[in-house]
Structure 1
Amino acid sequence: MPFITNKNTTENVDIFYEDYGKGQPVILIHGWPLSRKSWEHQVWKIVESGYRCISYDRRGFGISSAPWSGYNYSALASDLDQIITQLDLEDVIIVGFSMGGGEVVRYCTDFGTDKVAKTALISSIIPLVKQKEDNPSGVAEKDLQGIQNALEEDRVGFLKEFSKGFYNFEDNKDKISQAQLDYDFVIASHASPRATIETAKAWMHTDFRDELKHVDVPTLIVHGDSDATVPIETSANQAAKAIKDNVFTVIKGAPHGLNITHKEELNTILIDFIKS
């Protein structure tokens, strides 16, 4: 099975990846608390459109290594850097979903964009989740602490319910099956408990607003206007104002997990951007 080993952090970390197709490389970074498997409906479309598609499990998730520490965004971005470096990739298109948008931005900050052709932020947490005086639309500190408490007290119980809000399940039963919810639960529940909590802290508390200037390549921003998990006001709307060269597309009625519920629409938007 293909792994790359990141030896540039406090301990060696093995990152599992899948690599399909030929042509310009497109790297897919999954959201929390899932794995590369969440990109199922995008991988085949990217490969059949004539591109090389690489998806990987974030450290602590899927079958990648689960170190005790090293879940801040610079550590996570270093894993992405090692994939690009060890696979000798150039002219890369990096796509981050939800918390994966953080790796996209931090990679641009820590490593620059010499090897990057384009980026994409899908249902992304960028630039800031937490509510602050200058970010009034963000999620209140008490609510974020509530998530952390729930993960520490009954992680699997929290995850069992989380995916319903992820997809706005009650409003999208014609677009999402109970089997998909069950599948997500299996993936999320098998992730490292420590990684699940520590990466949650990373996406909850990291402020990327000052880093958006480093995203200096063409960027696609896609968000659903019904995203109850990452409100559009504190994420995509702000990102679109701060990233100079961007294409911003709002999918009407789409929830956070629009890569499943609105997969055809997202695939068309993504492939058109990649080809542009």
Structure 2
Amino acid sequence: MSTITVKDGTEIYYKDWGTGQPIVFHHGWPLSGDDWDTQMMFFLKQGYRVIAHDRRGHGRSGQSANGNDMDTYVADIAELTEALDLRDAIHIGHSTGGGEAIRYVARYGKDRVAKAVLISAVTPIMIKNDSNPEGVPLSVFDEIREGTGFSRAQYFYDFPIPFYGWNREGAKVQEGIKHNWWRQAMQGSVLAHYEGIKAFSESDFTEDLKSVTVPVLVLHGEDDQIVPFNQAPRAAKLLPNSKFISYPGFPHGMPATEAATINKDILEFIKS
């Protein structure tokens, strides 16, 4: 397996295929780099170099007891991009990975990043507080913590239903996608997943968004039941150089269920 060992001794697993301009994929909670398989294959065939890592505590990366927070996630990515000497890169993040990607671009991306893409991202901030009155109440994240920490196998088996919008009238569960979601999730560390809930729900990316000057594409499904749709126009407005596309009826997990549409729009943005 391809891994690097970061400063605190944690091993970070990654896949690195092809040549050409690099595209770096940042996965969502509680999944792994495997969630990008469709995009990795698509962009590889388009002539790009594609890289996807497993976040610490996720997938095949080390299950450290510490560092399950957004700043450490981003520092790990910085070490990976330096080790691979990635330049003129496009960083694409889904959900939690969207926050990770934009903070990486803001803090470490100078002279290394060409563009970024945020898909169903947790930016600018998810949790409801005084400065974000339209956010998601803390009680929702406490329920996710309870399910993740203490009944993870069943909770993660059920979680893909709203994640992919299969609870909507007329929707049909795609069993392969559901089981692949569960496989990825159960491969990771229960501690990392539990602590990662705070990372994706309470991290404030407002200043990161404001400081990123490279072009950023913001994509969000209008029927997202995990990260509310109202996040996306707020994030796009904060970015100095953004393009925003919304998709009626698309769910949170649209990179898997709506890959053909998403991939086409990302490719057009990259080439523009």
Counterpart of 1:20 in structure 2 is 17
211, 216, 232: which one aligns with 1:236: 232
- Given the alignment, which residue of 185, 207, 212 partners 2:182? 185
Matched to 2:106, the amino acid is T
User: Aligned equivalents of 1:114 and 1:104: distance in 2?
Assistant: 15
Q: 1:147-205 deviations in whole A, cap 9, x for unaligned?
A: 11222221222111111110011338767511211121121112101111111110011
Percent of aligned pairs with the same amino acid: 36
How far apart are the structure 1 equivalents of 2:2 and 2:200?
Answer: 27
Offset of 1:112 from its aligned partner? 4.0
| Partner in structure 2 of residue 124 of structure 1 | 121
Counterparts of 2:108 and 2:227, CA distance in 1? 27
CA contact (8 A) 2:164 2:254 kept: yes
Query: What count of residue pairs does the alignment treat as equivalent?
Result: 272
Tell me the secondary structure at the aligned position of residue 60 of structure 2.
coil
Native 8 Å contact 2:165 2:171 kept in 1: no
**Among 257, 265, 271, the residue aligned to 1:269:** 265
* Distance in structure 2 (CA, Å) of the matches to 1:238 and 1:251: 16
Give, as a single letter, the amino acid of the residue that structure 2 aligns with 1:99: T
SS in structure 2 opposite 1:75? helix
Q: Secondary structure at the match of 1:220?
A: strand
- The 8 Å contact of residues 121 and 232 in structure 2, kept in 1 or not, is answered as yes
C-alpha separation between the residues in 2 aligned to 1:211 and 1:270? 21
On the 8 A contact 1:102/1:125 being kept in 2, the answer is yes
Measure, in 2, the Cα distance between the counterparts of 1:102 and 1:191. Answer: 20
Aligned position for 1:139: 136
1:210 aligns with 2:207: yes
- Could you tell me which of 83, 87, 91 is aligned with 1:86? 83
**Following the alignment from structure 2 to structure 1, what is the Cα–Cα distance between the partners of residues 169 and 253?**
11
- How far residue 41 of structure 1 moved from its aligned partner, in angstroms, is 1.1
* Aligned match of 1:50: 47
- Matched residues in 1 for 2:106 and 2:22: separation? 20
Q: Which runs of 5+ in 1 are unaligned?
A: none
**3-state SS of the aligned residue for 1:232?**
coil
Q: Which deviations, in whole Å up to 9, do the C-alpha atoms of 1:125-144 show, x marking residues without a partner?
A: 11111012332221111111
SS at match of 1:60: coil
Select 2:168's aligned residue among 162, 168, 171.
Answer: 171
Residue 25 to residue 172, structure 1, CA distance change in 2 (3 Å):
farther
Bigger mean CA deviation after superposition, 55-64 or 168-177: 168-177
Q: Which stretch shows the higher mean deviation, 246-255 or 109-118?
A: 109-118
- 1:61-80 to structure 2, matched below 5 A, reads 61-80=58-77
TM-score of the pair, normalised by structure 1: 0.94
The amino acid across from 1:17 in the alignment is Y
Q: Quick one: which amino acid aligns to residue 79 of structure 2?
A: Q
Q: Give the secondary structure class of the aligned counterpart of 1:170.
A: coil
1:254 paired residue number: 250
- Per-residue deviation, 1:91: 0.5
Query: What's the TM-score, normalizing by structure 2?
Result: 0.96
Distance 1:47 1:172, change over 3 A: farther
Structure 1 position 32, deviation (Å): 0.6
- For the 8 Å contact 1:113–1:217, the answer to whether it is kept is no
Distance, in Å, in 2 between the alignment partners of 1:112 and 1:202 is 21
- Whether the 8 Å contact between 1:105 and 1:214 is mirrored in structure 2 is no
Q: Which runs of 4+ in 1 moved over 4 A?
A: 172-176
| CA distance in 1 between partners of 2:150 and 2:69 (Å) | 22
Tell me, in whole angstroms, the C-alpha distance in 1 between the residues paired with 2:48 and 2:109. Answer: 23
